[in-house]
């Protein structure tokens, strides 16, 4: 690690391999943060996102990337961690919590990020949650983030000693189109990201699950072609 890097403020970023976490991390990097990326292999059916997270971590030049296995499929309770069908082509209603909700997932993830942040003396945790274009998940709401931030100040030595932990949510109030426009302005290559809940056998997006549709609508509204779809059309994923 160079002397310059050692002096930069540190942040732990929850990195899923999707375009939201990529963009959130990139904004923190642009602000001068040194990034420590945490990816959780939680027993999800869509393992492609783990490969995407590695690619994103490489593109961001993070100081360290940890993949942690916490097998939430042992609990079940979600179509992402069980054999239940992922809903396709449904009417998107933020008031309805869909079967793709993984019980308390962001609470589990943020707790793990908080633990690592204390170890590396980071004062910020970056998470790409969004309260505008989302699928009705309760742990993406502003009031949830504020509550966890309060918990972090009470539950850690850093907090007790007066070193408050901040949960940074740079995308919280942006539409998907605004997120894509922001990432594009930062020069991000969205072709390396993965958003699909139920990818095809070759790893390409199904284009019918909630996440695929939100992504496609976002690129359409932004007036930008999705480079991942262009890549899939020209050269199928391995």
Q: Which domain holds residue 45?
A: 3-234
User: What confidence tens digit (pLDDT) does each residue in 149-208 have?
Assistant: 999 999 999 999 999 899 999 999 999 999 999 999 999 999 999 999 999 988 899 999
Write phi, then psi, for 117 (nearest 5 degrees): -60, -40
pLDDT given for residue 238 in this prediction: 46
Averaged pLDDT, 9-31: 97
Query: Is the pLDDT reported for residue 72 higher than 70?
Result: yes
CATH number, position 100: 3.40.50.620
Number of Cα atoms under 13 Å in the Cβ half of residue 235: 4
Higher pLDDT, 50 or 91: 50
pLDDT given for residue 96 in this prediction: 84
pLDDT band at 4 (very low <50, low <70, confident <90, very high): low
Lowest mean pLDDT among 14-23, 53-62, 85-94: 85-94
Read off the tokens for 36. Answer: 């420590």
Query: Is the pLDDT reported for residue 24 higher than 50?
Result: yes
Domain count for the chain: 1
Query: Is the pLDDT reported for residue 2 higher than 80?
Result: no
């Amino acid at each position: 690690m160079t002397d310059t890097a050692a002096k930069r403020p540190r942040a732990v970023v929850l990195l899923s391999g999707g375009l939201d976490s990529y963009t959130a991390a990139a904004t923190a990097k642009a602000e001068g943060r040194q990034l420590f990326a945490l990816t959780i292999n939680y027993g999800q059916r869509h393992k492609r996102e783990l490969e995407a997270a590695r690619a994103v971590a490489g593109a961001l030049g993070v100081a360290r990337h940890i993949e942690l296995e916490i097998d939430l499929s042992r609990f079940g309770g979600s179509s992402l961690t069980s054999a239940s069908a992922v809903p396709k082509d449904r009417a998107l209603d933020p008031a309805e919590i869909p079967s793709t909700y993984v019980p308390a997932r962001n609470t589990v993830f943020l707790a793990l990020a908080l633990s690592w942040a204390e170890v590396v003396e980071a004062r910020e945790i970056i998470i790409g949650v969004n309260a505008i274009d989302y699928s009705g998940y309760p742990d993406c709401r502003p009031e949830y983030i504020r509550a966890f931030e309060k918990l972090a100040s009470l539950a850690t030595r850093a907090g007790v000693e007066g070193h408050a932990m901040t949960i940074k949510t740079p995308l919280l109030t942006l539409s998907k189109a605004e997120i894509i426009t922001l990432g594009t302005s930062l020069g991000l290559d969205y072709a390396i990201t993965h958003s699909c809940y139920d990818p095809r056998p070759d790893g390409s997006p199904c284009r019918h699950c909630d996440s695929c549709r939100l992504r496609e609508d976002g690129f359409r509204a932004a007036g930008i072609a999705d480079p991942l779809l262009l890549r899939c059309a020209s050269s199928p994923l391995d």
